[in-house]
Amino acid sequence: MGFRHTKAEILEGSLGVAFDDGLSQLTYGRVAKRLGISDRVVVYYFASKEELVGEVLMAVGVQLQRALEPVFGSPAKDHFELLVRAWPILARAEADPIFALFLEANGLAASGREPYRTLVPLLVEAWIAWAAEYLEGSLDHRRTEAETSIAMLDGLLLLRQMAGPDAATRAAKRMGIAK
């Protein structure tokens, strides 16, 4: 018997397709071609397109959370403090491909395209819950502050993707979260 591919290898290949070609082009066939395998192998590990896309989005989210955890060591008192900590990490060129995928997923969800219409709200909810863990106060206060943080960051990141890094930096400076 020859080499057996693992689910982790298939996921890594799927991430490569997503980053190179976009989420809208993520198919069993493209992943299989990238890895030089049969698309049946991909289907073996990811029984549905929803499962494949969901795992790709989760893997991207985990990468981003790992990048942010060092600056979120102690709880922030409010959304502004969280923004000040997060923006320098998120405003790096290395983060741009991650947010290009996230914004593509949002667009596909907004247009009603499955599995994005179902998955993206779950992903956003998970991000709100995750960010709330890094804020002080009551549960309601932390959730509201997390929602505010994410709304402001997503706006800046959309501006960064569409108008460029300089426009986002100017806006972040005007908001008082960047120097």
CATH number at residue 35: 1.10.10.60
Q: What residues contact residue 1 under an 8 Å CB cut-off, 6+ apart?
A: none
Please provide the average confidence, as pLDDT, over all residues in the chain: 94
Q: Is 126 left (phi over 0), alpha (psi -120 to 50) or beta?
A: alpha
Q: Are 8 and 93 within one domain? A: no
Domain identity same for 43 and 56:
no
- Could you tell me if 57 and 38 lie in one domain? no
Same domain? 87 vs 153: yes
Range of the domain at 12: 1-47
Phi, psi torsion values for 76, nearest 5 degrees: -85, 150
* Rounded Cα gap, residues 135 and 85, in angstroms: 12
Mean pLDDT of 24-31: 96
Q: 62 with 99, same domain?
A: yes
Whether the predicted pLDDT of 129 surpasses 60: yes
- Distances from the Cα of 30 to the Cα of 12, 14, 26, 58, 169, angstroms: 13, 8, 7, 20, 36
For residue 48, which of 115, 128, 133, 134 has the smallest C-alpha distance?
115
138 and 101 inside one domain: yes
What size, in residues, is the chain?
179
Tens of pLDDT along 67-77? Answer: 898 888 899 99
> For 130-137, what is the mean pLDDT?
96
Say how many domains are in the chain: 2
Are 94 and 34 contained in the same domain?
no
Same domain for 100 and 58: yes
- Do 27 and 59 share a domain, yes or no? no
My answer on whether 147 and 124 are in the same domain is yes
Q: Does 22 share its domain with 57?
A: no
Q: Are residues 155 and 84 in the same domain?
A: yes
